[in-house]
Structure 1
Amino acid sequence: MKVINQLATGLLFATAATVAHAEDSKLTLGAGVGVVGHPYKQYHSDVYPVPAIDFESNNFWFHGLGGGYYLWNDTADKLSITAYWSPQYFKPGDSDNNQLRKLDRRQSTMMAGLSYMHFTQYGFLRTTLAGDTLDKSNGIVWDAAWLYRYTNGALTVTPGIGVRWDSDNQNEYYYGVSKKESSKSGLRSYDADSGFNPYLELSVNYKLTDSWSVYGVGRYLRLSDEITDSPMVDKSWTGLLSTGITYSF
């Protein structure tokens, strides 16, 4: 089973936080399955198991692949120091494209930074600014979204619209092609700049009992020109779908 990419990480990380606040639960455990696409040429979509682990306290939180420490935490505003594992990667052997199989591998990393949420009667803002801490890409990623939570009995639906910004170092590491790689693969060399990737997302949660719930999440992300112009990429968008069941203590 292949490791999930950054899109999956960002969505599961954000959705877990959204679900945790919706349920007002200290601890939630569960499992599900996810399907995620890759923008690289002749990369197959991955189907993988998804663990759901959410923990909330007044000072600490842990959601999915990340966690944090609250610097400010009240009903309207939540500011925290955060760190999360971002397993965005490129493994040449996972592509069926002969040229991409000759490129260098791009590795996953640990991201760290600040996360902020602001709640109003019209919805809530969710934003995170984080940078690579393991000297892989030396990149920075900023994600911001506005979401609205609607609850009707046991059903909670949370649509959202957002944008993710990737720095030039981030895009260069994962989508750039060096002159050395170009000479080996036959692909043109490519230097990537920073870019904005708008997206739509939707999460649905249905309470079966006071403790058991089923959920579904999805995101459609439109890739920036800095990504789609890469000779490694043959798609203008990517997306994720996930569904599962959770138990709240």
Structure 2
Amino acid sequence: MYRILGLLLAASLSLPATAQLDESCSTKHDCIEVGNWDVGVAIGWGQKTNPLKDVGDIPVFLIPTIAYYGENWFFDNGNLGYSLTEQAHFSLNLVTSYSLDRAYFYRWDPSNIFLERNSPSRTGFGRLPNAPAEPDMHINDLGSRNFTLLGGAEAFIYSPLGILRLAYTHDMFNVHHGSEAQIKWSYGWQLNRWIIDLAFVFDWKSQNVVHYYYGIRPEESAYWSQQYQAHSGWDKGAEMTARYELTNTWDLLLAVRYTLIADEITASPLLDKDVSSTYFIGAAYRF
């Protein structure tokens, strides 16, 4: 028995793994045998743009992946899950995940494992460009944006037209008391040695999530803490991964992701971009 394995760039590019029975495994590179570990690494070069003001982009050069699927329990790139039911065209899991927003603030967030920030520190939010010189518009050093795990449920619907993922998770440790949801459609096909995966993603973040990461606290700026009021919003994205099979263990790899950040988030004075994009080109090896 096999299960579909998440893309090798799942940890860095935020491409959630899927799981289903072996009938849907298009190639041996997509599947992991139940009861076995799957370990791999991608080496190359890429970059993830950082929408935060005065903070540079994040280079991508080494991306690990590690996964294990049992009969019910599974581990995939830092996330734990439990399969409640698995049918030919439908599956339902309990899962954990972590927010991608914190990665913009902290080097060692799980979303930035093996990534290196070539930018000023997170405290580099000075006076806003072209803003008046009034002291009350200055943003002081930012307070902590703590890590938390999200827990909830995900459902996969499998069809000849692709895979639809529906997910809802909530803060498990009462850090921000927020919730996130995702609607993702993905489709993959193979042409000789080429394997192409395409996806469109809609990520919803509750008001509490937006406020915790992008809101301004009174000690950071009394002015902006009153001016910016957080609201829930939807990020919209597209992803593409192309792999060329060199050998049984080596692939050439190209991955890109483009995210249009919700207007409710880009209204924050911490941001000066309304998009975030990621690209990576290199070689992937599976042990």
TM-score by length of 2: 0.73
- How many aligned positions are there? 237
Bigger helix share: 1
Deviation readout 1:146-185 (Å, 9 max, x if unpaired): 11111112221111112110000000001111333223xx
Query: Which of 128, 149, 169 is matched with 2:167 structurally?
Result: 128
Deviation readout 1:74-115 (Å, 9 max, x if unpaired): 332221111124364235942533255522121221111111
Secondary structure at 1:226's aligned position in 2? helix
Hey, what's the Cα distance between the residues in 2 that align with 1:127 and 1:36?
25
Task: Say whether residues 1:82 and 2:95 are aligned partners.
Answer: yes
CA contact (8 A) 1:195 1:225 kept: yes
Query: Which of 33, 42, 56 is matched with 1:32 structurally?
Result: 42
CA contact (8 A) 1:125 1:147 kept: yes
Larger CA Rg, structure 1 vs 2: 2
Deviation readout 1:50-70 (Å, 9 max, x if unpaired): 211133333232221212110
CA contact (8 A) 1:43 1:95 kept: no
Task: Say whether residues 1:193 and 2:205 are aligned partners.
Answer: no
Query: Which of 51, 55, 68 is matched with 2:81 structurally?
Result: 68
Deviation readout 1:1-57 (Å, 9 max, x if unpaired): xxxxxxx8584341x448x95522234321225532222101111124321113333
Hey, what's the Cα distance between the residues in 2 that align with 1:176 and 1:122?
40
Query: Which of 50, 71, 79 is matched with 1:58 structurally?
Result: 71
1:5 aligns with: none
Q: Report which stretch shifted further, 109-118 or 210-219.
A: 210-219
Hey, what's the Cα distance between the residues in 2 that align with 1:212 and 1:12?
22
Secondary structure at 1:25's aligned position in 2? strand
CA contact (8 A) 1:71 1:79 kept: yes
Corresponding letter in the other structure for 1:80: N
Alignment of 1:72-151 (within 5 A): 72-86=85-99, 88-89=101-102, 90=105, 93-98=121-126, 99-151=138-190
Alignment of 1:8-19 (within 5 A): 11-14=13-16, 16-17=17-18
1:3 aligns with: none
Deviation readout 1:119-152 (Å, 9 max, x if unpaired): 1011110222111112222111111111111111
Identity of aligned residues (%): 24
Hey, what's the Cα distance between the residues in 2 that align with 1:222 and 1:169?
20
CA contact (8 A) 2:122 2:142 kept: no
Hey, what's the Cα distance between the residues in 2 that align with 1:64 and 1:73?
21
CA contact (8 A) 1:146 1:162 kept: yes
Hey, what's the Cα distance between the residues in 2 that align with 1:141 and 1:116?
14
Q: Report which stretch shifted further, 24-33 or 190-199.
A: 24-33
Question: Segments of 4+ in structure 1 off by > 6 A?
Answer: none
Hey, what's the Cα distance between the residues in 1 that align with 2:285 and 2:177?
35
TM-score by length of 1: 0.83
Secondary structure at 1:170's aligned position in 2? helix
| CA RMSD between the two structures | 2.6
Change (3 A) 1:36 1:223: same
Change (3 A) 1:198 1:37: same
Task: Say whether residues 1:162 and 2:220 are aligned partners.
Answer: no
Corresponding letter in the other structure for 1:192: A
2:276 aligns with: 238
Change (3 A) 1:131 1:216: farther
Q: Report which stretch shifted further, 167-176 or 122-131.
A: 122-131
Hey, what's the Cα distance between the residues in 2 that align with 1:236 and 1:209?
40
